[in-house]
């Protein structure tokens, strides 16, 4: 039962393993940053594409994962091992997303989005104001962790990132992708999609709508926190800016860039965005203008995003429903 | 099976359901008739938990369900369809039915095994579509179905919940006149086979008298008559309300 898609995924994974040979170190670090955003994008899209909820506060969940690593380094340096740090980051994201989710899923549409935004700004304010604990706006420096008993003390960050950590990151990315694929194709995933399509009917076939939205929010938060934790090692420093609304907006942007209607969309979007932003910054100090302009072009010319446009290109007019209109069937 | 006592529903100052009380026995098929605006759909909404009553009591199989959540009612065995079809537009007909079966069998908690691995559920979904005569449309999306087929799918989805008591709000409205009896035959046969009790809201008096054991007449939020279809049709007040015939 292996589909062609499986081999495409496998091919991409093998290609990813050779990336450190193909890309210069600096490009590779950017790419790694993109991969961590991609993991976050998967989580974000579970809410947007599969549950029908647009969160403008996911930056806070990303920051939770990153700060969990930072705080562990600051307060429990003995436990600064990656196999402990990742579970701790996930636990922290679980707690924060459960609190956020509990409040947010009481509403849908714009009300949900605004609530998520407001809560994320609360976390942002806490991170800035509790200077003694969080380091305030200076943030926290992230040291290189001990990975499975191997210490990287004295090693330069770029060496760490182009070596062992890269392979660890790629494996985590593969695990997250497979896990998310399983979730969206499972009966649970179908239940979420039925809630998105028609919450009244979903309730009337015995799905506890609010509870399932909460589950979806928490799962989304776990992926996002995972992305944040993995990103913190790449970046080497966490600041409250990752919890700010601007970054939350960038998450939405990445997903739209890749195309939220396609499972792989946020992955493509996250990696492209990382490069797009960096090149925009290097060309002009008005880089936001470039980002903004691309967003406008994107919405006007390619509302399905890049991955979505790609899928559409290959499936156009293939499917025609019996009312005679062509539509694209997304996987 | 179902016991309703002194049920009242107010919308603001307007009393839509006024002190309604009746009983549905095991395996019984009851029709609810009445003019437009009598409160029939509101009554269905109250029994299914879509809205909550102002006061009164709804008891199902000895359990108080008056203010229970829809989820609890469905688990106890109350299912409903929708007069205005309420489907999952982005999923195929087959998936519409499969999600109902996943819910029925408590599989929606599973977040790892792919939905396509549940072969028996897929087969059962196709069987149910077969019972209702729309299995050839299983790969279409609901927006591409005719109004009649949408209606049938909606009913099939309620049926797939394997309830003990099925609320059918105008299951044949939108179905072509020539097909109405065929559709009703199908639905009633399926209900009888599963030994379900059923309450049908219907406008077509031929259908009402052919298929129901008992008829309830609702007018302006009150039940004004109850009895065998033939007897009820002869009552003067019923004739006046339903057919506008002055005695």
| A15 within some domain | no
Give the residue-averaged pLDDT of A121-136: 87
Res. A251: pLDDT tops 60 = yes
pLDDT tens column, A184-228: 989 999 999 999 888 888 888 888 999 999 999 999 999 999 999
Res. A235: pLDDT tops 70 = yes
B77: left (phi over 0), alpha (psi -120 to 50) or beta: left
Retrieve residue A265's tokens. Answer: 């969309």
Query: Cβ separation of A201 and B118 shorter than 8 Å?
Result: no
Q: How many CB atoms lie within 10 A of CB A197?
A: 19
Instruction: Return the bridge partners of B78, or none.
Output: B165
pLDDT at site B247? 57
Query: How many angstroms separate the CA atoms of B57 and B48, rounded?
Result: 13
Q: How many CB atoms lie within 10 A of CB A220?
A: 28
| A62 within some domain | yes
pLDDT tens column, A314-330: 765 444 444 434 444 44
pLDDT tens column, B131-144: 887 888 888 888 88
Query: Cβ separation of B88 and A206 shorter than 8 Å?
Result: no
DSSP letter at B223 equals: E
Retrieve residue B56's tokens. Answer: 């009164």
Question: B 55-74 residues with CB below 8 A of A?
Answer: 69-71, 74
Res. B241: pLDDT tops 60 = yes
Closest CA to B203 of B243, B166, B147: B243
Residues of A in Cβ contact (< 8 Å) with B71: 203, 206-208
pLDDT at site A2? 60
DSSP E strands in chain A: the ranges are 140-141, 237-238
Report how far apart, in Å, the C-alpha atoms of B193 and of each of B147, B189, B206, B237 are: 26, 6, 23, 35
Which range has highest mean pLDDT (A164-173, B15-24, B210-219)?
A164-173
Retrieve residue A317's tokens. Answer: 């007019």
Query: Cβ separation of B74 and A323 shorter than 8 Å?
Result: no
Query: Cβ separation of B104 and A201 shorter than 8 Å?
Result: no
Query: How many angstroms separate the CA atoms of A218 and A86, rounded?
Result: 16
Q: What share of chain B is helix, strand, coil (3-state, %, to 5)?
A: 40, 25, 35
| A5 within some domain | no
- How many Cβ contacts (< 8 angstroms) between chains A and B? 105
| Residue B246 banded pLDDT, cuts 50, 70, 90 | low
A190 lies within 8 A of chain B by CB: yes
Res. A300: pLDDT tops 50 = yes
H runs (alpha helix) in B61-179: 70-76, 93-104, 119-131, 147-159
Instruction: Return the bridge partners of B197, or none.
Output: B165
pLDDT tens column, B3-19: 888 888 888 888 888 88
Give the residue-averaged pLDDT of A295-301: 84
Answer with the residue of higher pLDDT: A102 or A262: A102
B151 lies within 8 A of chain A by CB: no
Residues of B in Cβ contact (< 8 Å) with A204: 48, 50, 70, 74, 79-80, 82, 86
Query: How many angstroms separate the CA atoms of B152 and B135, rounded?
Result: 11
Q: Which of the residues B48, B72, B108, B115 would you substitute to probe the A interface, choosing the one with the greatest number of A C-beta atoms within 10 Å?
A: B108
Retrieve residue B80's tokens. Answer: 């409903």
Query: Cβ separation of A197 and B157 shorter than 8 Å?
Result: no
- Write down how long chain A is: 331
DSSP letter at A153 equals: T
Res. B113: pLDDT tops 50 = yes
Q: Which of the residues B79, B88, B159 would you substitute to probe the A interface, choosing the one with the greatest number of A C-beta atoms within 10 Å?
A: B88
Q: How many CB atoms lie within 10 A of CB A156?
A: 11
Residue A188 is nearest to which of B82, B108, B118, comparing CB atoms?
Answer: B108
Buried b (16+ CB within 10 A) or exposed e, A66-93: bbbbbbbbbeeeeebbbeebbebbbebb
A323 lies within 8 A of chain B by CB: yes
Q: Can you give the residue ranges of every domain in chain B?
A: 2-88+162-243
| Residue A331 banded pLDDT, cuts 50, 70, 90 | very low
Residue A322 is nearest to which of B71, B110, B144, comparing CB atoms?
Answer: B144
Query: How many angstroms separate the CA atoms of B32 and A94, rounded?
Result: 49
DSSP letter at B110 equals: -
pLDDT at site A230? 94
B2-88+162-243 fold: Rossmann fold (3.40.50)
Cβ partners under 8 Å of residue A244, min gap 6: A59, A120, A121, A124
Query: How many angstroms separate the CA atoms of B164 and B162, rounded?
Result: 7
Answer with the residue of higher pLDDT: A65 or B184: A65
Query: How many angstroms separate the CA atoms of A82 and A144, rounded?
Result: 9
pLDDT at site A325? 40
Backbone φ, ψ for residue A326 (5° rounding): -75, 145
Domain containing residue A126: 23-315
State the DSSP H helix or E strand holding residue B11, giving kind and residue range, or none if neither: strand B2-11
Query: Cβ separation of A197 and B88 shorter than 8 Å?
Result: yes
Res. B79: pLDDT tops 60 = yes
Answer with the residue of higher pLDDT: A100 or B162: A100
Query: Cβ separation of A206 and B140 shorter than 8 Å?
Result: no
Closest CA to B21 of B63, B51, B66: B66
Q: What share of chain A is helix, strand, coil (3-state, %, to 5)?
A: 75, 5, 20
Query: How many angstroms separate the CA atoms of B18 and B10, rounded?
Result: 8
A273: CATH:
1.10.3470
Residues of A in Cβ contact (< 8 Å) with B88: 193-194, 197-198, 201-202
Residues of B in Cβ contact (< 8 Å) with A193: 88, 90-91
Number of domain units in chain A: 1
For A206, half-sphere exposure in the C-beta direction (CA atoms, 13 angstrom radius) is 27
CA quadruple B87, B88, B91, B93: dihedral, nearest 10: -20
In DSSP notation, A41-61 reads HHHHHHHHHHH----S-HHHH
Q: How far is B111 from chain A (nearest CA, A)?
A: 5
Res. A80: pLDDT tops 80 = yes
Answer with the residue of higher pLDDT: A229 or B19: A229
**Mean pLDDT, all residues of chain A:** 85
Retrieve residue A329's tokens. Answer: 């069937």
Answer with the residue of higher pLDDT: B111 or B70: B70
Query: Cβ separation of B114 and A204 shorter than 8 Å?
Result: no
CA quadruple A100, A102, A108, A110: dihedral, nearest 10: -30
pLDDT tens column, A13-49: 888 888 888 888 888 888 999 999 999 999 999 999 8
| Residue A229 banded pLDDT, cuts 50, 70, 90 | very high
Pairing of strands B55-60, B2-11: antiparallel
Say what the ipTM of the complex is: 0.82
- Residue recorded with tokens 């003694």: A132
pLDDT at site A316? 54
Contact between residue B171 and residue B191 where contact means Cβ atoms under 8 Å apart: no
| A250 within some domain | yes
| A327 within some domain | no
B87 lies within 8 A of chain A by CB: yes
| A303 within some domain | yes
Give the residue-averaged pLDDT of A261-271: 89
């Amino acid at each position: 039962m292996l589909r062609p898609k499986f081999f495409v995924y496998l091919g991409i994974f093998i290609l990813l393993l050779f990336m450190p040979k193909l890309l210069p170190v600096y490009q590779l670090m950017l790419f790694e940053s993109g991969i961590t955003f991609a993991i976050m994008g998967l989580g974000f899209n579970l809410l947007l594409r599969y549950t029908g909820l647009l969160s403008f506060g996911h930056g806070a969940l990303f920051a939770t994962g990153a700060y969990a690593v930072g705080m562990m380094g600051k307060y429990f340096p003995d436990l600064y091992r990656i196999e402990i740090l990742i579970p701790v980051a996930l636990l922290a994201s679980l707690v924060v997303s459960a609190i956020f989710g509990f409040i947010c899923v009481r509403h849908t549409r714009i009300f949900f989005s605004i609530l998520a935004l407001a809560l994320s700004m609360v976390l942002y304010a806490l991170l800035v104001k509790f200077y003694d604990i969080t380091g305030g706006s200076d943030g926290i420096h992230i040291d290189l962790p001990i990975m499975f008993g191997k210490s990287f003390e004295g090693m330069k960050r770029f060496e760490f990132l182009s070596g062992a950590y890269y392979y660890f990151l790629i494996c985590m990315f593969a695990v997250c992708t497979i896990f998310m694929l399983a979730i969206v194709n499972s009966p649970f995933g179908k239940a979420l999609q039925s809630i998105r399509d028609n919450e009244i009917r979903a309730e009337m076939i015995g799905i506890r709508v609010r509870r399932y939205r909460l589950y979806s929010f928490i799962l989304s938060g776990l992926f996002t926190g995972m992305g944040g934790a993995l990103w913190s090692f790449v970046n080497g420093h966490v600041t409250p800016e990752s919890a700010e609304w601007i970054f939350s907006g960038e998450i939405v942007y990445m997903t739209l860039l890749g195309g939220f209607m396609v499972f792989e969309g946020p992955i493509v979007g996250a990696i492209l965005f990382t490069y797009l932003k960096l090149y925009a910054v290097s060309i002009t100090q008005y880089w936001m203008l470039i980002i903004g302009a691309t967003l406008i072009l994107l919405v006007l010319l390619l509302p399905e995003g890049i991955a979505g446009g790609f899928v559409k290109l290959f499936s156009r007019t293939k499917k025609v429903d019996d009312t005679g209109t062509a539509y694209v069937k997304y996987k | 099976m179902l016991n309703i006592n002194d049920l009242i529903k107010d919308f603001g100052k307007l009393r839509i359901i006024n002190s309604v009380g009746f009983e549905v026995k095991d395996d019984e098929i009851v029709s609810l008739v009445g003019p437009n605006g009598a409160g029939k759909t509101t009554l269905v909404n109250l029994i299914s938990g879509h809205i909550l009553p102002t006061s009164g009591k709804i008891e199902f199989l000895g359990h108080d369900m008056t203010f229970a959540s829809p989820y609890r009612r469905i688990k106890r065995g109350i299912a409903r369809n929708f007069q205005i079809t309420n489907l999952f537009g982005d999923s195929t007909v087959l998936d519409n039915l499969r999600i109902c079966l996943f819910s029925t069998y408590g599989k929606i908690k599973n977040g790892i095994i792919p939905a396509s691995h549940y072969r028996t559920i897929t087969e059962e979904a196709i069987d149910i579509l077969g019972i209702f005569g729309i299995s050839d449309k299983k790969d279409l999306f609901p927006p591409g179905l005719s109004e009649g087929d949408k209606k049938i799918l909606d009913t099939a989805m309620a049926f797939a919940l394997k309830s003990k008591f099925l609320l059918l709000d105008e299951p044949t409205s939108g179905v072509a006149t020539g097909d109405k009896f065929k559709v009703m035959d199908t639905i009633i046969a399926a209900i009888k086979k599963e030994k379900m009790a059923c309450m049908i809201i219907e406008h077509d008096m031929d259908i009402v008298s052919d298929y129901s054991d008992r008829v309830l007449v609702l007018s302006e939020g009150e039940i004004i008559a109850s009895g065998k279809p033939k007897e009820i049709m002869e009552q003067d007040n019923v004739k006046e309300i339903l057919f506008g015939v002055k005695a």
